[in-house]
Structure 1
Amino acid sequence: MRKIFPTARKSVLGLAIAASLGLSFNNALAADSDTLTVAVAQDPGTWDPIDTFLVNWSVVANDIFDGLIARGPDLKLKPALATSWQFMNNNKTIRFHLRHGVTFQNGEAFNAQAVKFTFDRLLADKASPQRSNYTAIKSVKVIDDYTVDFHLAQPDPVLLTKLAGYGAMIVPPKYIKEKGDAYFNTHPIGTGPFKMVSYKPNVSATLVRNDHFWGDKPKLEKIVNRFIKEPATQVAELQSGRVDIITSMPISMIKKVNSQPDLEVISHTGPTTYALRFNTKRGITKNLNVRKALIMAVDRNAIIHSILAGQAEPITSFQSKLSFGYDPSLKPLPYDLKKAKALLKAAGVKNGTKVEIDFRGNNGTFREVVQAVAGYLSMAGIQATIKPYDSNVFLNDIVPNGKTGAMFQQSWGGWTFDYDNTAYLLYHSNETYNPYNKSAKLDKLLEEQRQMVDPKKRLPILQSIAKYVYQNHWEMPLYNLNTIYGVNKRVQNFAAPADMRLRLTHVSVK
């Protein structure tokens, strides 16, 4: 449900940021009537759909690429490059009937061969962070130019949703074969409503209207995506008129943004969850009871109310209440400083023991959260230092290679709204973002539920996976944060998606 939030907390940090930016608030720039400017928190570093899992990739690339299936802001699946599909052979085959007359943005024809090439390429790339989402696909067979069969190695109850995003975006075979993967990384070509014409790493990605788009003609001529890491800077650019939509809204500045008559804040319950995961291989966090103690030492409800102004909900497992697999009977560990101290003492942890908390340094709000966590841990006798990293370094090196401290940030989009997409990638052995934990029991559960189509049978298994992680305290669950946008009111027909996968075909500006 769309909500406009008029108020938010006034923290010392928030007021300081607002004051420091105040000089630019009234210096609005003339805006082009055919150009939309969007602030994106991170340059994903590649535009190849099989090389990323980042929400910030989809903020931009969802307008460049199409999948066989699409999912709109209402979270319902609908036809895209496939006009229809049907299950055959006892659900072991999915036949897709493809849209006629579609071309890629370079003029190359879209057909069944392009679909086969896309998935053959994805499944052959064992280094792809997207590959494990699609391993249920055993092979892709071309029936004719506009019919293709997906033969499944096993059922995947979330596959249709996965085909609506990220690694399943259809790519042009001839273009990639001629130009190569490295070129495609920075010069993407899809079938979507907008085409990338300029990419300046860590600066901007500019898209222009694809006049040959198969669907409704985009209303905008141009979209300028500016990579702005600091949320406070995004707000400054929104307030000065240099940006129309921001995707990183500091909680502390919601009131300030809403105070301007030409701006509004849009907030939804979304899929994004935050946790601090534990290094279970080294140091004091190798001990289960120490991990439990650290969780109980932190008042997460207080953090939600004081730092996040109530724009979040507490979580027990790493999923929102909208996720299939959510278990309402699983309750968070209570804040209990006395018991936390007793557990630490019983585990032989000395007062003043040091731990390091690693996090992505571009999010000022989460920095406050981490500082609060460190403060709570200090009351339990743990000396926590916080270490910020550049997001790309953190996600591509520090976490995958197991270089973290005792605790490290994990924020996850959960864009399928199905716990499988989170749990498999974070808890299955040897997955990219699971550097520390291995469990044959959990692997079996994760694999078992992927073979089931019946949701009534899947649900208890997904809930048992969440319970297993909860009982082993692999992470400190923090909260499910609302999806929050700051928007200039000159933007028309913006359906702010809960999953932040922007599709701007129908948007215009005045």
Structure 2
Amino acid sequence: MRKLLFFTLAVLMAVAVSVNLVFAAPPKILVYSKAADPQGLDPAYVNEIESGKIIVNIYETLVKYKPGSTAVEPCLATSWTQSPDGLVWTFKLRKGVKFHDGTPFNAEAVKASVERQLPPRATSDMPYASFTFEPVKQVEAVDPYTVKFILSKPYAPFLLNLAMCFAAPVVSPTALKKYGPDFNQHPVGTGPFKFEKWDHDQQIVLVKNDQYWGKKALMDEVVYKTTKESTVRASELMTGAADIIDGVDPNDVKKLESSGMKVLKSPGMNINYLAFFCNKKPFSDPRVRQAISMAINRPEVVKYLYQGYAQLANGPLPSFIPGYNPALKALEYNPEKAKKLL
């Protein structure tokens, strides 16, 4: 199997320019130009990154990932314990937190957010429900600020999964009842930004949550603008129509940097690979699969097609995901050996 681990690229204006923009005149508005409209804004029903980029600013989870790590730290929960048998998780919740609609965050809100994703209420279009909560047998609101998860079996990634932006965020039970199926268009969470409006295929606008319990947002408003063409997004940044862009074409990186833009580069969670129907000939023969892998010059693909903005993967997982095995060795480019295998 041939794999390439691609970089996620984001671009923002140089610090000196950003400072001038931020303090030029109120309100402080940040324009973020991205490639696509989100699938939705209800964390129970989405599974793609365009939704995730916005969801993380509207909602919060019991725990969150530490910056640059998959280790977790407190968020809406201040502490937690696990029973010796691994079947009971108890979380102490943060007090004084309110949802954007003014209703209180508490154990009942956590219970409602999870129970809608458990049988029999869970539906097939909740893509991360079973992944996150499959072993959850029961959720108990012990008191207003203590919630208990009772599992049917020990589940090693349970705590890590509670930090994800899909399924795990806590939503307003009041808003769920008020909007019903339309909650996806009227998201209400506890995060640093509140939902303002969604002009489909054009923009989503979030405004600062002045009642946020944590560190207040620096921007008064964030506009997530949908611009499908990467070259157009690059042009928007250089002309000042956008402050941040993502999904940068590798061929545009040098041009952006030479224009005074700061390009942020980090390994992404996506791996590009060739997959085969291994129960069908000729791919049922492992020698055929090995030969195809050996016939592809992956370093050259990285160098010329992606302008060096990719990493060679040695397996099915990115290096920062639990379960990654650094000892795995990828097959090297060897067309002569590939011919012999065939």
TM-score after normalising by structure 1:
0.58
1:127-157 per-position Cα deviation (integer Å, ceiling 9, x unaligned):
1210232213221111011111011222222
Change (3 A) 1:223 1:279: farther
Once residues 131 and 25 of structure 2 are traced to their aligned partners in structure 1, the CA distance between those partners, rounded to angstroms, is: 40
Change (3 A) 1:315 1:209: same
Once residues 243 and 149 of structure 1 are traced to their aligned partners in structure 2, the CA distance between those partners, rounded to angstroms, is: 44
Once residues 288 and 186 of structure 1 are traced to their aligned partners in structure 2, the CA distance between those partners, rounded to angstroms, is: 48
Which one scores higher on RCO, CA 8 angstroms, separation ≥ 6?
2
Change (3 A) 1:162 1:250: same
Matches within 5 A, 1:14-413: 34-75=28-69, 76-124=71-119, 125-127=122-124, 128-134=126-132, 135-165=134-164, 166-181=166-181, 183-261=182-260, 263-280=261-278, 285=283, 288-344=286-342
Once residues 246 and 336 of structure 2 are traced to their aligned partners in structure 1, the CA distance between those partners, rounded to angstroms, is: 40
Once residues 43 and 284 of structure 1 are traced to their aligned partners in structure 2, the CA distance between those partners, rounded to angstroms, is: 40
For these two proteins, the number of residue pairs brought into alignment is 315
Deviation at 1:222, TM superposition (A): 0.2
Deviation at 1:204, TM superposition (A): 1.0
1:402-430 per-position Cα deviation (integer Å, ceiling 9, x unaligned):
xxxxxxxxxxxxxxxxxxxxxxxxxxxxx
Residue 151 of structure 1 aligns to which amino acid in structure 2?
I
1:45, 1:201 within 8 Å by CA — same for their partners in 2? no
Deviation at 1:287, TM superposition (A): 5.1
Once residues 174 and 279 of structure 2 are traced to their aligned partners in structure 1, the CA distance between those partners, rounded to angstroms, is: 46
Deviation at 1:228, TM superposition (A): 2.1
Deviation at 1:278, TM superposition (A): 2.8
Deviation at 1:205, TM superposition (A): 0.7
1:178-230 per-position Cα deviation (integer Å, ceiling 9, x unaligned):
3112x111211111111111112221110001112121221211000012222
Once residues 171 and 282 of structure 2 are traced to their aligned partners in structure 1, the CA distance between those partners, rounded to angstroms, is: 47
Once residues 237 and 72 of structure 1 are traced to their aligned partners in structure 2, the CA distance between those partners, rounded to angstroms, is: 32
Instruction: Choose between structure 1 and 2: higher helix proportion.
Output: 1
Deviation at 1:114, TM superposition (A): 0.8
Residue 117 of structure 1 aligns to which amino acid in structure 2?
A
Once residues 199 and 339 of structure 2 are traced to their aligned partners in structure 1, the CA distance between those partners, rounded to angstroms, is: 51
Once residues 284 and 252 of structure 2 are traced to their aligned partners in structure 1, the CA distance between those partners, rounded to angstroms, is: 39
1:207, 1:222 within 8 Å by CA — same for their partners in 2? yes
Residue 266 of structure 2 aligns to which amino acid in structure 1?
H
What value does the CA root-mean-square deviation take over the aligned residues? 2.3
2:185, 2:198 within 8 Å by CA — same for their partners in 1? yes
Once residues 111 and 321 of structure 1 are traced to their aligned partners in structure 2, the CA distance between those partners, rounded to angstroms, is: 36
Residue 49 of structure 1 aligns to which amino acid in structure 2?
P
Change (3 A) 1:242 1:72: farther
Change (3 A) 1:286 1:242: farther
1:258-305 per-position Cα deviation (integer Å, ceiling 9, x unaligned):
1123x2111123433222333446675455443333222211111112
**Secondary structure, aligned partner of 1:330:** coil
2:86, 2:155 within 8 Å by CA — same for their partners in 1? no
Deviation at 1:32, TM superposition (A): 6.0
Deviation at 1:49, TM superposition (A): 0.5
Residue 210 of structure 1 aligns to which amino acid in structure 2?
N
- Structure 1: runs of 5+ lacking an equivalent: 6-28, 345-510
TM-score after normalising by structure 2:
0.85
1:40, 1:59 within 8 Å by CA — same for their partners in 2? no
Change (3 A) 1:239 1:151: same
1:454-479 per-position Cα deviation (integer Å, ceiling 9, x unaligned):
xxxxxxxxxxxxxxxxxxxxxxxxxx
Change (3 A) 1:279 1:239: farther
**Secondary structure, aligned partner of 2:160:** helix
Residue 312 of structure 1 aligns to which amino acid in structure 2?
A
- Structure 2: runs of 5+ lacking an equivalent: 1-8, 10-20
2:85, 2:154 within 8 Å by CA — same for their partners in 1? no
Once residues 291 and 51 of structure 1 are traced to their aligned partners in structure 2, the CA distance between those partners, rounded to angstroms, is: 36
